Amino acid sequence: MQRYVKAVGLRRVVSFVRRPLERQVSEYRHCKQHGEKEQPPLHDWLRQPGLVRKQIQLLNADNIPVEAFGFIGITERYDESLALLNATYNIAVRSLQLNVRDKREAFDFSEQLADKELTAMNEPERHLYARALAFFEQRVRMAAKCKPFAHGALDGVDSDGVLRGWAWWARGDKRVVVDVSVNGNLQGRVNATLLHSLAQWNAPRRGRVGWAIQLPLGLRAGTTVTAKVAATGQELGQLQLQGAGQRPSA
């Protein structure tokens, strides 16, 4: 993924994500049916280190926030994702479903869902999926309102009380203007024009998509900070302060 992102730019990267457990079992059943060698029992298969973080590794999600990709679809909402993809890029990709199992072969996940060890192992991918789903649904809402969509997220608050983030429009190279509110009250407005680390992944505007704003001193733990696109009201992120070095929660 890294070399492709750097070559074509984040805006042109398209991917789909799937619920972790469903994806893993699907891969197991496929390998068992079509693989050249005998597969271990499902209990052991699901605990392979490379399997439980596969989507994270493929997307390089430890380094690139999911909101930065040009388009992230949801496998469980395939047709809806495809329609939105076509509208986003003005293309006409047709729905094609291959290697689909009969509904009578539905898998019972109750045993795996009750497995606390497996649930803990899947937590990073569950977090990735939840974040991708929220990103997708936000895009759906903006499309329904016929409003332009912006990519963006919060980086967090540093030890000096500076809130940082990034944003760019899905189309065009105009700067994004961001409104930051504290407990629902507008704190300030800032332009997303600072050089951001996403420049190394070929972000739009040559990486000048970052923004920063000084928060008031003495804010208490639990204070809610929200960033929105000034032009559309689209939320870019929200966090509750817990102390210095706060990182945003999905």
Cα distances (angstroms) measured from residue 221 to each of 2, 64, 237? 37, 28, 18
Would you place residue 106 in the very low, low, confident or very high pLDDT band (cuts 50, 70, 90)?
Answer: low
CB proximity list for 70: less than 8 A, separation 6 or greater: 10, 11, 12, 13, 14, 88, 170
Predicted local confidence at residue 209, as pLDDT: 98
Residues 18-52 pLDDT 10s = 998 888 888 888 887 777 677 788 888 788 877 88
In the predicted structure, residue 8 carries a pLDDT above the cut 50? yes
Complete domains list, the chain, with CATH: 2-144 (no CATH), 150-240 (2.60.40)
Would you place residue 127 in the very low, low, confident or very high pLDDT band (cuts 50, 70, 90)?
Answer: very high
What average pLDDT does the chain have? 89
Residues 137-153 have a mean pLDDT of 97
In the predicted structure, residue 118 carries a pLDDT above the cut 70? yes
Between 62 and 99, name the one with better pLDDT.
62
Q: How far is it, in rounded angstroms, from Cα 154 to Cα 250?
A: 10
Predicted local confidence at residue 245, as pLDDT: 46
Q: How far is it, in rounded angstroms, from Cα 16 to Cα 71?
A: 8
CB atoms within 10 A of CB 56: 17
Residues 163-172 pLDDT 10s = 999 999 999 9
pTM assigned to the model: 0.86
